[in-house]
Amino acid sequence: MGGATLTKETGPREVFCGLTSIVWLHRRMPDAFFLVVGSRTCAHLIQSAAGVMIFAEPRFGTAILEEKDLAGLADTHDELGRVVTNLLERRPEIRTLFLVGSCPSEVIKIDLARVAEKLNEQLKGNVRVLNYSGSGIETTFTQGEDGALKALVPFMPDNQVDQLLLVGTLANAVEDRLIKLFNRMGINNVASFPPRQSTDLPPVGPRTKVLLTQPYLTETARVLKDRGAEILHAPFPLGVQGSYDWMKAAAKAFNIEQSLFDSVLDPIVLRAEKALKPYKELLTGKKLFLLPESQLEIPLARFLNRECGMQIIEIGTPYLNREMMEAELQLLPENSVLVEGQHVEKQLDRVRQQQPDLVVCGMGLANPLEAEGISTKWSIELVFSPIHGIDQASDLAELFARPLNRKNILSKKLLTHA
Ligand code: SF4
């Protein structure tokens, strides 16, 4: 496992639930609708998480269920069917409807798969109804995407031709850029999953090679493997080195000549390293503590240590899939402290003891830590920002330099006013 030591920790957790991923998934697939079957708390969460981008016609909503006993359950199934029918009458442009489960006990009692099955019979293929869980008991916030993608995999058509499949939501501009680079190397059949339209699902088959763009897609990778696809193992495309190695894995799988690969990437690498330099100067030697939330923590720690010179105190991750993380773990510094799971109180004690320069954490923990004088970076910001690929390495570093710069400016102002 590289040079890292792993500890498992259990206890109170402070993470967003899987419902949160609806916020980026509904932007990716504008013909899909996400209907959360949940409580008022779920409705508040999804509204406030998505509140920054109110659309005239939102593509998510919450069917709020009140407490029901088991005897009232049949009514609940019918009630949900009625909500969906009304919604689809009002919104004929919806092509895929995700029923998203949550954690209140009245929701757990509902068989959402059965409700989806009945609706699919009724809708006769005009709209596809799928279900997955975004419950906070089972998922952390990025795992919602894993659940949604896993639900789509059975509907991907079969194919028997060589294909590179990029799996995981990327910003459209970043995705276009990466596909262009692969094309320039001679890898021409490149598809993305999730697609930009939910009905435009890419095919999959035994000659499909999968490059995961995100580290939290364990279940999706598993079902793609069941469809015959090969998962390419590589670091994730964060930073210059991670993105280079990630593209190299595809080039190797498609037998691309090293000289062609170099001719495409060398100028981009040089430019990216130059752009990274000022951030490296600011970040070198700074102490970083990553609390578990997004599962991006290990690739981020690798990037911030190797390419920005940061000193990593602790890397928290909600789950560790060793197989998928193998290439990343090999690149961590010797004696890295890796903690899987969370006991938030104990973790915060360690943060206070170590006094890091920067903590990557959830929004709920950021304010209290800032109040104690510790700079923070919200992990949720990293899933909304275009951070993948060699060209984006300096933007990624800038996200971490920003809170440190802000602190410097504020302390200078305080000194001048003292
Ligand atoms: S799914 Fe659970 S954790 Fe998430 S908002 Fe609803 S009640 Fe809260």
- What does the pLDDT read at residue 56? 43
**Of 8, 28, 10, 2, whose CA–CA distance to 386 is shortest?**
28
- What does the pLDDT read at residue 19? 93
Phi and psi at residue 299, in whole multiples of 5°?
-60, -35
CATH numbers and ranges of domains, the chain: 18-139 (3.40.50.1980), 163-260 (3.40.50.1980), 274-417 (3.40.50.1980)
Distance (Å) from CA 102 to ligand 1 centroid = 6
Q: Is the minimum distance from the CB of 18 to ligand 1 under 6 angstroms?
A: no
Whose tokens are 């006993």? That residue is 69
8 Å CB contact between 48 and 77 = no
Q: Is the minimum distance from the CB of 62 to ligand 1 under 6 angstroms?
A: no
Q: What angle do CA 18, 165, 203 make, to 5 degrees?
A: 95
**What DSSP string runs through 82-101?**
HHHHHHHHH-TT--EEEEEE
d(CA 342, CA 179): 37
Distance (Å) from CA 344 to ligand 1 centroid = 18
- What does the pLDDT read at residue 412? 74
Angle between helices 363-371 and 344-354 (to 10 degrees): 40
Distance (Å) from CA 91 to ligand 1 centroid = 26
Q: Is the minimum distance from the CB of 201 to ligand 1 under 6 angstroms?
A: no
d(CA 127, CA 265): 43
Q: Is the minimum distance from the CB of 235 to ligand 1 under 6 angstroms?
A: no
Q: How many CB atoms lie within 10 A of CB 54?
A: 8
Q: Is the minimum distance from the CB of 101 to ligand 1 under 6 angstroms?
A: no
d(CA 107, CA 73): 10
d(CA 232, CA 251): 11
Q: How many CB atoms lie within 10 A of CB 77?
A: 15
Distance (Å) from CA 119 to ligand 1 centroid = 25
Q: Is the minimum distance from the CB of 103 to ligand 1 under 6 angstroms?
A: yes
Phi and psi at residue 60, in whole multiples of 5°?
-150, 160
Q: Collapsing DSSP states into helix, strand and coil, what is residue 192? A: strand
Whose tokens are 């709020």? That residue is 64
Mutate to test the pocket of ligand 1, among 133, 135, 139 (most ligand atoms within 8 A of CB): 135
d(CA 31, CA 263): 39
Q: Is the minimum distance from the CB of 130 to ligand 1 under 6 angstroms?
A: no
- What does the pLDDT read at residue 138? 86
Q: Is the minimum distance from the CB of 41 to ligand 1 under 6 angstroms?
A: yes
Q: Is the minimum distance from the CB of 15 to ligand 1 under 6 angstroms?
A: no
Which tokens go with 132?
A: 């997955």
- Residue of the nearest CA to atom 5 in ligand 1? 42
8 Å CB contact between 247 and 268 = no
d(CA 315, CA 287): 12
- What does the pLDDT read at residue 78? 83
Distance (Å) from CA 48 to ligand 1 centroid = 13
d(CA 245, CA 138): 32
Distance (Å) from CA 415 to ligand 1 centroid = 44
Distance (Å) from CA 223 to ligand 1 centroid = 26
Q: Collapsing DSSP states into helix, strand and coil, what is residue 228? A: coil
Ordered mean pLDDT values, 10 residues apiece, the chain (418 residues): 85 89 91 92 81 58 68 74 91 95 87 93 94 92 96 97 97 96 98 97 98 97 98 98 98 98 98 97 97 96 98 96 94 95 95 97 92 93 93 97 88 68
8 Å CB contact between 116 and 99 = yes
d(CA 2, CA 328): 9
Which tokens go with 315?
A: 């890397």
Distance (Å) from CA 64 to ligand 1 centroid = 12
Which tokens go with 349?
A: 């004690």
Q: Is the minimum distance from the CB of 107 to ligand 1 under 6 angstroms?
A: no
